[in-house]
Chains A and B, each alone.
Chain A
Amino acid sequence: MTAKEYSHHTPRWADDALRFALRCCPSRPDCEDAVQEALAALWQCHASVSLDKGKSYLLSAAYRSLMATLRHAKVERKHADGVGASVATVQQPDLRFDLREAIEHSLQALPEVQRAILQLRDVEGYSYREIGETLALSDSQVQVYLFRARVSMRKQLKELGYDES
């Protein structure tokens, strides 16, 4: 990728990367930091990254950075609380919420990697191979996680009273 191609494509890719990061972590500042670090990483090696791989490189770098941040935060919480790392829980949404909000709530109950896979599959339209490359997983792992994510999400929605999706 040339410097010009980098300049041309990264603003749009950065939007996608931020959208992806926000699926994995609700903290926008953390997500923006992760995207920023990913942009830095991509710039450092842009000459050796082909244009068609640029976006997945950016998303992958943002994901790694974000996961490192989240792991660090978990460790800090663990030390602060003197207990084991907290388990993700989802709060019961107000039943006045619409389906879209209920979907967001059910997403938050999923492990980060499953949310990331859903985003890459549904929104970015990535193939299993591309998702695997981005998240450093095998094709089979991606498919199993995707299956579990959809099943869990639908179960959660049913429990919240949304029988029709």
Chain B
Amino acid sequence: MNQISADNYELWLLRYAEGDLAPEERRAVEEWLASHPEAAEELALYQEAPRLERDERVRYAAQPSQPLWPVVARWSAAAAVIAALMLPALRMGGLARLPQPTEEPALMAAAMVAEEGGAGYSRNSRISKISRISSYPSYSGLSGFSAADSVFSKGEGGAPEAPVAAPAEVIPSTSLIAFDDSGVEDTLASFSLIAFEPADWGDRLLAANDGARESLAQSAGGRLVSRLLPDSDQLAEHVVDPLRERLSIMRNKLKQ
């Protein structure tokens, strides 16, 4: 390091304070400080400054801080999607065993798919930002978004990421689908068809993919649905009936 001067004294003082200097360098700094009291004051300030502490309260992608249903209320398309998401669980008698929700992403992914027809979210909204994200097959917090992008890419003729290929023409713009892909290597077993509209879309998908039926059925009634929905009381009070109505409206629109 160059000789201590007004241009580089901060470096010298930091290394002095941290004990990184050789004895002769320390003496040189002390001699220089004797004739530069303002720098000596800075050194004292440096040494007195508090050190920052880790704030353990900060968590990324934490549990939702509020019940799911107000979130649903903000996104009407998402509301319709949840109604569709419920169908497989209802068919399998799954409501009673649904635990508390822990994640929103797949719900939002499904909302994006549902809105492909243009129901509209602002290009500057957080949903829109998230939609740029792709390829998260192994990060559970973002798996839903990956799924949404996969669906879009299929619709646009791109290479599908998901292992179960569906012809683009059978995916209507209002298909309500979401996937739970919790592992890269875990292909079909981790690929969950949660709900679909029109109703025969799933059958056509399965017909083209021998062996997928069992894993799809297991997944559809299990992981993703159980992660998204609140307990059965909340579900009944705040979600089920209002969303059935919304789904009905959506179906009517589709018929028109």
Contact = CB atoms under 8 A, between A and B. Distances in A.
Interface of A: 3-4, 6-7, 10-11, 14-15, 17-19, 22-23, 29, 32-33, 35-37, 39-40, 43-44, 99, 103, 107, 118-119, 122-123, 140, 143-144, 146-148, 150-151, 153-155, 157-158, 165
A147 B12 CA distance: 10
B130 A154 contact: no
22 contacts: A3-B183, A4-B184, A6-B138, A10-B139, A11-B141, A15-B59, A15-B60, A18-B59, A18-B60, A32-B60, A36-B130, A39-B139, A99-B50, A103-B50, A140-B11, A147-B11, A147-B42, A148-B10, A150-B45, A150-B46, A151-B46, A165-B49
Contact of B14 (A17, A22, A119, A147): A147
Contacts of A140: 11
A123 B139 contact: no
B52 A7 contact: no
A38 B147 CA distance: 19
B60 A154 contact: no
Contact of A7 (B53, B58, B139): B139
Give the interface size bracket for B toward A: 35 or more
A147 B50 contact: no
Contacts of B232: none
Contacts of A35: 60
A119 B51 CA distance: 9
A123 B11 contact: no
Interface in B104-142: 126, 129-130, 132-142
Contacts of A39: 136, 139, 142
Contacts of B141: 11
A7 B136 CA distance: 10
Given A14-B60, A148-B10, A150-B45, A123 B52 contact: yes
Contacts of B68: none
Q: Is the interface of B mostly helix, strand, loop or mixed?
A: loop
A11 B63 CA distance: 12
A15 B50 contact: no
A124 to B, nearest CB: 9
Nearest to B15: A143
A117 B134 CA distance: 31
B46 A43 contact: no
Contacts of A148: 10
Contacts of B184: 3-4
3 A-B pairs with the lowest CB-CB distances in the bound complex, closest first: A150-B49, A14-B60, A122-B52
B49 A151 contact: yes
A115 B138 CA distance: 33
Given A18-B58, A44-B135, 14 more contacts: A3-B183, A4-B138, A7-B183, A15-B60, A19-B58, A23-B52, A36-B130, A37-B133, A123-B53, A140-B11, A143-B15, A150-B46, A151-B45, A154-B50
Contacts of B183: 3-4, 7
B55 interface: yes
B61 A29 contact: no
Contacts of A11: 60-61, 141
A165 B48 contact: yes
B4 to A, nearest CB: 13
Contact of A33 (B14, B59, B126, B136): B126
B7 to A, nearest CB: 10
A144 B13 CA distance: 9
